[in-house]
Amino acid sequence: MTEQTSATDLSIPPYGEDTVSERMQSILDTGTALFAEKGYDATSMRDIASAAGVSKALLYHHFTSKEDIYARIAFSATQNLNQYVWDRIPADGTAAEKLRAFMVAAAQFFTHHRSAWVAASNAFWSDPDRHRMEQRLARRRAFEMMLRDIVRAGVESGEFGDVDPAMTGRLVLSGINWMHRWHDPEKTLTPEEIVNQYADILLGGLMAKAG
Amino acid sequence: MTEQTSATDLSIPPYGEDTVSERMQSILDTGTALFAEKGYDATSMRDIASAAGVSKALLYHHFTSKEDIYARIAFSATQNLNQYVWDRIPADGTAAEKLRAFMVAAAQFFTHHRSAWVAASNAFWSDPDRHRMEQRLARRRAFEMMLRDIVRAGVESGEFGDVDPAMTGRLVLSGINWMHRWHDPEKTLTPEEIVNQYADILLGGLMAKAG
DNA sequence: GAAAGCCTTGACCGACTGGTCAGTCACAGG
DNA sequence: CCTGTGACTGACCAGTCGGTCAAGGCTTTC
């Protein structure tokens, strides 16, 4: 029953192979909320400490630096995205079905990790840790490639018109990535409903050219 | 010959009704570049001063605060956008032509004001000046309304399928707004070429539903 | 030449930043 | 009862932040 909570669920697993104590997790959760709300620079270690109800010194007992805290959040936010989305793309579907499934899955993941995602994307470029940075870039590239492959297959099979897979992928991801700038989680429309409407528009466009 | 450089050209006019001296303009240009490159928080007044080759105190002789400098940049960046785009939408064109013209014009404006635009959108939400903030929000709303009206007209005339104008507008603007996150000005593709490809995809989608 | 007025500056301020450190506390094993 | 260990803290550090200020040029005007 619990044997399959591994790669495809929505929980945030520990950073690397460490286990995180309750205290650490509560600090991380507090930091996630603050980073998402105010941004990396505008969030001080004192802010995190007082919001978490602990002393600032304790942060440095559990983490090595502010960057460390942020990096764990950003790392977790994107860690399972690729696998999660990949698992939700029907292997035997049409290109249109796959594209829509990709968008919906990405939106679902986004919904569940909203704060961490916003925090991560707000400060995406300021990670001084080369290795971690490259890991994240590699994951992002793989994510984009998954999308382009779907579009390319559709173009080659004639299901889509003769569009550039890279450019189409960028347009799709623009819609998904920009969503957090205007979407209000309190409002009626869920991210899934939004990307489904996006998919309606986009898929119509792609198929119009195929005749 | 020079009588028509007023509302529709791409130059950045003075803030409000003031005239800006050469020195002020050079400070603003320096600030624009730094804000765009590093963001608002990460750019200090000392950075701007030394990059502009003047003392920090001089900044406070010409401007009242860091916010003042940033606000002038952000204000200028969006000041002429609406008029510029409006003037480039063909009054007697089809909805598809108008939508494409809208996107191309926005991309052109973006190209010419890239740094200021990036600086402004990176810190869009942190303006403490209510009046200025509301002015910018009003302009943005007007900008979105212009776009929605185009889509709505296309839907009502049957040229487009039965899409939601608001949601379609968001998708279009997502592509335009997200562009600066990945677009490299050094590379071959210009923003105009990119939005033209976006328009190809989107317009196909909209028209497919009309039959 | 002196007064007037802007441009320009270095020195300085209090507030705040990320980070450190000696030391307190509770609790474990001997 | 002693000793260690990990969680936890207040006080403190050097450095940077946005912003201020009195005073020194540099022109222009009388």
Looking at residue A107, its pLDDT comes to 94
Q: Do A205 and B201 touch (CB under 8 A)?
A: yes
pLDDT of B4 strictly over 60:
no
Looking at residue A22, its pLDDT comes to 85
A163 touches chain B (CB under 8 A): yes
Higher pLDDT, B136 or A29: A29
Looking at residue B14, its pLDDT comes to 44
Confidence label for B206 from pLDDT (cuts 50, 70 and 90): very low
How many Å lie between the alpha carbon of A209 and the closest alpha carbon of chain B?
Answer: 7
Q: Do B206 and A201 touch (CB under 8 A)?
A: yes
Per-residue pLDDT of chain A (211 residues; tens, 9 = 90+): 333 333 334 444 444 446 778 889 999 999 999 999 888 888 999 999 999 999 999 999 999 999 999 989 988 888 789 999 999 999 999 999 999 999 999 999 988 888 888 888 776 555 556 666 777 788 899 999 999 999 999 988 888 888 899 999 999 999 999 998 899 889 889 999 999 999 999 987 544 433 4
Interface test with A, best of B144, B162, B171 (most A CBs within 10 A): B171
Confidence label for B153 from pLDDT (cuts 50, 70 and 90): very high
E strand or H helix at A81: helix A81-87
pLDDT digit string, tens, across residues B155-187: 888 888 888 999 999 999 999 999 988 998 898
Q: Are residues A113 and A125 in contact, defined by beta-carbon separation less than 8 angstroms? A: no
Q: Do A203 and B205 touch (CB under 8 A)?
A: yes
**B54 CA, D30 C1': Å apart:** 32
The percentage of residues in chain B with a pLDDT greater than 70, rounded to a whole number, is: 82
In chain A, which residues from 26 to 55 place their CB closer than 7 Å to nucleic acid strand C? Answer: 43-47
Indicate yes or no: strand D within 7 A of the C-beta of B91.
Answer: no
Q: Cα A70 vs. chain centroid, distance in angstroms? A: 15
B201 touches chain A (CB under 8 A): yes
pLDDT of B2 strictly over 60:
no
Q: Do B175 and A170 touch (CB under 8 A)?
A: yes
Looking at residue B117, its pLDDT comes to 86
Confidence label for B123 from pLDDT (cuts 50, 70 and 90): low
Chain A hits for B163, Cβ within 8 Å: 197, 200-201
Chain B hits for A207, Cβ within 8 Å: 204, 208
Higher pLDDT, A145 or B2: A145
CB half-sphere exposure, A176, CA atoms < 13 A? 27
pLDDT digit string, tens, across residues B34-90: 998 888 888 999 999 999 999 999 999 999 999 999 988 888 888 789 999 999 999
Indicate yes or no: strand D within 7 A of the C-beta of B57.
Answer: yes
Q: Do A197 and B39 touch (CB under 8 A)?
A: no
Amino acid whose CA is nearest the C1' of C16: A44
Composition of chain A by helix, strand, coil, percent to 5: 70, 0, 30
pLDDT of B209 strictly over 70:
no
Looking at residue A3, its pLDDT comes to 38
Indicate yes or no: strand D within 7 A of the C-beta of A54.
Answer: yes
Q: Do B171 and A198 touch (CB under 8 A)?
A: yes
Q: Which nucleotides of C are covered by protein (CB under 7 A)?
A: 7-12, 16-22
The residue of chain A with its CA nearest to that of B171 is A175
Confidence label for B211 from pLDDT (cuts 50, 70 and 90): very low
Other Cβ atoms less than 10 A from the Cβ of A198: the count is 26
Domains and CATH numbers, chain A: 22-76 (1.10.10.60), 78-210 (1.10.357.10)
3 state SS for chain B:
CCCCCCCCCCCCCCCCCCCCCHHHHHHHHHHHHHHHHHCCCCCCHHHHHHHHCCCHHHHHHHCCCHHHHHHHHHHHHHHCHHHHHHHCCCCCCCHHHHHHHHHHHHHHHHHHCHHHHHHHHHCHHHCCCHHHHHHHHHHHHHHHHHHHHHHHHHHHCCCCCCCCHHHHHHHHHHHHHHHHHHCCCCCCCCHHHHHHHHHHHHHHHHHHCCC
What is the end-to-end Cα distance of chain A in Å, rounded?
48
**Facing B201 at nearest CB: one of A168, A177, A194:** A168
Looking at residue B130, its pLDDT comes to 63
How many Å lie between the alpha carbon of A13 and the closest alpha carbon of chain B?
Answer: 28
At a CB cut-off of 8 Å and minimum separation 6, what does B182 contact?
A170
**A148 CA, C30 C1': Å apart:** 65
